Amino acid sequence: MKLSDNKATISFSNGTPNFEVPVYAGTIGPDVLDIRKLYGATGMFTYDPGFLSTAACQSAITYIDGDKGELLYRGYPIEQLATRGGDFLDTCYLLLRSELPTDTQRKDFHKLVTMHTMVNEQMQFFLRGFRRDAHPMAILTGLVGAMSAFYHDSTDINNAEHREIAAIRLIAKMPTLVAMAYKYSIGQPFVYPKNNLSYAGNFLHMMFATPCEEYKVNPVMERAMDRIFTLHADHEQNASTSTVRLCGSSGTNPFAAIAAGVACLWGPAHGGANEACLQMLEDIHAKGGLSYVKEFMEKVKDKNSGVKLMGFGHRVYKNFDPRAKLMQETCREVFAALGVENDPILQLAQALEKIALEDDYFVSRKLYPNVDYYSGIVQRAIGIPVSLFTGIFALARSVGWIAQLNEMIGDPEYKIGRPRQLFTGSQRRDVP
C-alpha cells in the first residue's frame, strides 16, 4: 500500500493523546485512513453500521465510481468488455488472472472450463431430496455447499492448487446446477452439458432442451445470456462478496464460502431485486397496467406505504448504473428478435422509468435504474421463470466471489474477520 501525501490526526476532548492516522492512496478512488492501531492507542473503536465508510480490504479486481456511473473490471470499462467481441469466459479469465487472455490462453481456458461442466452423478440424488416447489435459491445454497462433500480434492483454501481447481469447478458447474434446479422444479429430465456449445449456449441448452426434440440455440438469446453473465460477474465489496470474504476468512473451504455468498445474494435488497422487480411489474399489470402507474408511484413516494420502486436505487451508483444501459440495449435486441412489439411488462417498465427520471423524489435522491430493472425483463422474454433470476445472478457472480476470495487468501494482510460493536445492553448484573 502506498502512503498518501495527506496527513490526518484525530484529537480528543477527554485528554487522550492525539492519534496520527496513516493515510493510504489507491490507484484511483478515495484515500483511506488506517485505523488499525486506533484501539490499541486510544481504547476506542470506530462506528460504521453497514460499512458505508469502511474499506475492509485492499483489492485490485473491480473499481466502481458511483458518481460517474463507471464500472471497471481490472481497469477495463464494462461497456468495452460487453461489446467488443469477447465473451463471459474471457471476463472470467480477466477477473481470475488479472489480464485478458491471449488467443492460446483463451482456447486453453475454454477447454479447461468445458472439461468440468458435468457434475458428480450423485448430486442429482441429493437434489431429488428437495421438494419440487422449493425456491431455486434454497436448492442452490444447498447444492453449492454440498460441492464440498463431492470434490474433496479442492477444499483446502490454503492450497493454491485447490483454490484454482475450485474456481474452475464453480465456474463450470454453476450453469449445470442452476439448469438442474429448474428442470427438477418442472418435472423434466436433467439435460447433460454439451461441450461443443458456448458457455451461454450450453446453459440455454441445459435449460430448454428435452430428450424428445432437437434444440437449436438462438444466437440473439445466447448473446443476451452471455451479456447478463458478463454484467453480473463482479461488483467489488457488495454484501454477498463481503459475506464470501468474511466466511472464507475463517479458513473454511471455497464451496462453503461461495454457498454463504449465494445465501446472501438471495435477499431482495441485493440479488433478489430482479425477481422482486418483475413481481412488482406483474402486480402493477394485474392491477390495471398503465392506468395504475400513477397511483403506484404515489405509494412509492409515501414513506408509510413501505412500497419501493424495485430495480431503482443503488448503494454505490448515484448516477445511471452502466450495466442498466447495456441491459436496456439487450432488451431491445431480444424483443426485436422475438418479434414482440407491445409487451405490456416492457411498456410498464418504460413508463415507470420515465416518470421516475423526471420526478423530484427520485431525482433529488439520485435514484436511477439499476441492472436488475431490465435484466428481469430480458430473462422473462428468454423464457426463464422469475424464481430462477437470482440463481442466474449467482451463477454469473460465482467468478467474482472466487476471484475476491482467492485475492484475500493471497493478501499477506488478511486476517479472520471480526467486526467490533458499540454495546448498548445491560451492564453486568447477578441472576436473582
> Which amino acids are annotated catalytic?
314, 372
Q: Which one of the spans 40-48, 77-85, 176-184, 306-314 is the region binding ligand ACO (CB under 6 A)?
A: 306-314
- Single-letter amino acid, residue 303: K
DSSP assignment string, 317-366: -SS--HHHHHHHHHHHHHHHHHT----HHHHHHHHHHHHHHH-HHHHHTT
Site for ligand ACO contains 313 (CB under 6 A): yes
CB 263 to ligand ACO: min, Å = 14
- Give the three cell numbers for residue 187: 418435472
Binding mask 327-366 for ligand ACO (x = CB under 6 A): --------------------------------------x-
**φ and ψ of 72, to 5 deg:** -120, 130
Site for ligand ACO contains 285 (CB under 6 A): no
Site for ligand ACO contains 309 (CB under 6 A): yes
User: Residue 273 in contact with residue 311, Cβ under 8 Å?
Assistant: yes
Residues 210-239 that bind ligand ACO (CB under 6 A): none
For ligand ACO, the closer of residues 106 and 308 by Cβ is: 308
User: For residue 153, what is the DSSP state?
Assistant: G
For ligand ACO, the closer of residues 109 and 389 by Cβ is: 389
CB 64 to ligand ACO: min, Å = 12
CB 97 to ligand ACO: min, Å = 25
CB 348 to ligand ACO: min, Å = 16
Q: Which one of the spans 17-25, 61-69, 264-272, 282-290 is the region binding ligand ACO (CB under 6 A)?
A: 264-272
Q: Is the four-CA dihedral 419, 425, 428, 429 of positive or negative sign? A: negative
Of the candidate residues 371, 382, 405, 409, the single one contacting ligand ACO (CB under 6 A): 371
What are the respective helix, strand and coil percentages of the chain, to the nearest 5? 55, 5, 40
Tell me how many residues contact ligand ACO (CB under 6 A).
18
CA 72/CA 404 separation, integer angstroms: 15
Residue 280 sits at the vertex; the CA angle it makes with 276 and 285, to the nearest 5 degrees, is: 150
Site for ligand ACO contains 273 (CB under 6 A): yes
Site for ligand ACO contains 271 (CB under 6 A): yes
Distance, CA of 347 to chain centre:
27
For ligand ACO, the closer of residues 126 and 320 by Cβ is: 320
For ligand ACO, the closer of residues 267 and 385 by Cβ is: 267
CB 319 to ligand ACO: min, Å = 13
Site for ligand ACO contains 315 (CB under 6 A): yes
For ligand ACO, the closer of residues 163 and 397 by Cβ is: 397
CB 251 to ligand ACO: min, Å = 28
Of the candidate residues 91, 242, 243, 370, the single one contacting ligand ACO (CB under 6 A): 370
Going by C-alpha positions, the residue among 101, 69, 262, 93 that lies closest to residue 171 is 93
Q: Which one of the spans 254-262, 284-292, 367-375, 395-403 is the region binding ligand ACO (CB under 6 A)?
A: 367-375
Q: Residue 8 forms beta bridges with which residues?
A: 21
User: Residue 203 in contact with residue 231, Cβ under 8 Å?
Assistant: no
Site for ligand ACO contains 269 (CB under 6 A): yes
Q: How many CB atoms lie within 10 A of CB 145?
A: 18
Q: How would you class 183 by CB atoms within 10 Å of its CB: exposed for 0-12, middle for 13-18, buried for 19 or more? A: buried
Q: Which one of the spans 197-205, 333-341, 345-353, 368-376 is the region binding ligand ACO (CB under 6 A)?
A: 368-376
CB 205 to ligand ACO: min, Å = 27
Site for ligand ACO contains 311 (CB under 6 A): yes
3-class SS of residue 234: coil
CA 130/CA 137 separation, integer angstroms: 12
DSSP assignment string, 26-71: -SSS--EE--TTHHHHHS-----GGGTT---S--SSEEEETTTTEE
Interface contacts to ligand ACO, rule CB under 6 A: 269-271, 273, 300, 308-315, 365, 367, 370-372
